[in-house]
Homo-oligomer: A and B are copies of this chain.
Amino acid sequence: MNERVDRLRAALDEPLLVSDPTNVRYLSGLASTNAALLVEPDRVRLFADFRYAERGRAVEGAEFVEAKRDLFQTLSEVLSGRIGFEASSLTYERYARLHAGGIDLVGRYGLVEELRMVKDEDELAAIRRAAEITNNAFERFADEGGVVGKTERELAWRMEQLLHDADCDSVAFPVAVAAGPNTAKPHTVPGERPVGKGEAVFVDAGCTVAGYCSDCTRTFATGPLPDELKRAYDVCLDAQLAGLAAVRAGASGSGVDAAARDRIEAAGFGDAFGHGLGHGVGLLVHEDPRLAQESRHTLAPGNVVTVEPGIYLPGLGGMRIEDLVVVREDEPEVLTHFTKELVMLD
Using a CB–CB cutoff of 8 Å, the interface residues on chain A facing chain B are 50-51, 54, 70, 85, 87-93, 95-96, 107, 109, 157, 161, 164, 170, 174, 185-187, 274-275, 294
Contacts and interface: CB of A to CB of B under 8 A. Distances in A.
Stoichiometry (number of copies): 2
Given A91-B88, A91-B90, A164 B170 contact: no
A174 B294 CA distance: 36
B187 A51 contact: yes
Contact of A274 (B50, B161, B170): B50
Q: Which of A51, A91, A107, A294 has the most CB of B within 10 A?
A: A91
Contacts of A89: 91
Contacts of A51: 185-187, 274-275
Nearest to A187: B51
A157 B107 CA distance: 42
A50 B89 CA distance: 24
Nearest to A286: B33
22 contacts: A50-B274, A51-B185, A51-B186, A51-B187, A51-B274, A70-B294, A85-B92, A87-B92, A87-B93, A88-B91, A88-B93, A90-B91, A90-B92, A91-B91, A91-B92, A92-B92, A92-B107, A93-B107, A93-B109, A95-B95, A161-B161, A170-B174
Contacts of A90: 91-92
Contacts of A164: 157
Contacts of A186: 51
Given A50-B274, A90-B91, A161-B161, 16 more contacts: A51-B185, A51-B186, A51-B275, A85-B92, A87-B91, A87-B93, A88-B93, A89-B91, A91-B92, A92-B92, A92-B95, A93-B109, A95-B95, A96-B107, A157-B164, A170-B174
A133 B282 CA distance: 34
Contacts of A107: 92-93, 96
A92 B108 CA distance: 10
Contacts of A109: 93
Nearest to A95: B92
A73 to B, nearest CB: 10
A-B complex: 10 closest residue pairs judged by Cβ atoms: A87-B93, A87-B92, A88-B93, A92-B95, A90-B92, A51-B187, A92-B92, A88-B91, A157-B164, A50-B274
A158 to B, nearest CB: 11
Contacts of A92: 85, 87-88, 90-92, 95, 107
A211 to B, nearest CB: 11
Contacts of A93: 87-88, 107, 109
Nearest to A189: B31
